[in-house]
Amino acid sequence: MTWQFEYPLAFLIVLLYILCKLLCKKKLKEVYFSNMEVLESIVKKKKDLHSILEFLMVLFLAFSLASPIKTKTISEESAEGYEIVLSIDASESMRSKDKFENTKEIIRMFVEKRKFDRLGLTLFAQDVYIAVPFTYDKKPLLDILKYIEIGVAGNIGTALNEALYVSSNLFKEIRNKNKILILLTDGINTKESVPLQIAIQNAKKYNIKVYTIAIGEEGDYNKEALSLIAKQTNGKFFVSSEAKGLASIYDSIDELEKSKIEISKRIEIQYFYKYSLIFSLICLMILIFINRIKK
């Protein structure tokens, strides 16, 4: 917040007034009275008051013409966010080596970073469970993420293809062009309810970019299937041998899919010329009043 004058050259009026007072004095005929000292004293007091009021009137008028203002710069932030679905394998095999709990913690950190996005959460094992539909409010998503356990989507099997298909359907009504699905698993598809290519075509239909993440030792997961999903949807396939390595993967995805943030600035201006103009008018009114009394 700063104070300034829009037209500072207006103060030259004060300088011109002072020069005029010094150089443009009116010549009057001298008249002598017997009680000259008393008369001069009375006249001097009136002239001093008159000069002060006249100077203040010009000074305040110059202030008004210079237009004193107070400016404040206001920054406005807008962003083009993403629609992101986090799909997590919640099958029994994820219990090993605390993979499920570690995954939840890493996803929690990822969610907290995504300030401008709408996020959803699905879990899959024997079945597919939509835990949280799209929301901007991160708190309910994080609360649910904290308390979900293995078994919520069944105990036996891994419906990977169905998870891709069902998670893609969440984007059906979404018009935002930035659509991301992050699919994490430590196993292979064991449920043949949806063929892999049909699931991939469904994701492509809604223009979803799918990032697939495999966690565990090679052979535990179907590398070809996960690579194919990522390749055909313009996503990327990641592998981590342990849950701790997931942090760098989610950081990489976060960097790859940054929300577009635009910061616009506008300047708010407050004008204060009216206050000095009022004071100038008050001085003028007093001068007029004094001059009328003289007459």
**Mind listing the pLDDT tens digit for each residue in 83-124?**
999 999 999 989 888 889 999 999 999 999 888 888 999 999
- CB-facing half-sphere around the CA of 134: CA atoms within 13 A: 20
**What's the order of all strands across the beta sheet hosting 68-80?**
2-5, 68-80, 260-271
The highest-confidence range among 8-12, 29-33, 139-143, by mean pLDDT, is 139-143
pLDDT for 174 beyond 50 = yes
Q: What is the pLDDT of residues 175-226, one digit of tens each?
A: 878 899 999 999 899 988 899 999 999 999 999 999 999 998 888 899 999 9
pLDDT for 39 beyond 50 = no
pLDDT for 262 beyond 70 = no
Q: Which residue has the tokens 């991301």?
A: 180
Q: What is the pLDDT of residue 265?
A: 67
Mean pLDDT of 45-74: 82
Mean pLDDT of 252-276: 77
Q: Whole-prediction pTM value?
A: 0.64
Q: Is residue 70 very low, low, confident or very high in pLDDT (cuts 50, 70, 90)?
A: confident
Task: Tell me the C-alpha to C-alpha distance, in Å, between residue 110 and each of 90, 98, 141.
Answer: 18, 18, 12
CA pseudo-torsion sign 132, 136, 139, 140: negative
Domain borders along the chain are: 2-73+265-294, 82-258
Q: What is the pLDDT of residue 155?
A: 78
The fold for domain 82-258 equals Rossmann fold (3.40.50)
Q: What is the pLDDT of residue 264?
A: 59
Task: Tell me the C-alpha to C-alpha distance, in Å, between residue 160 and each of 66, 188, 216, 282, 285.
Answer: 72, 7, 16, 83, 88
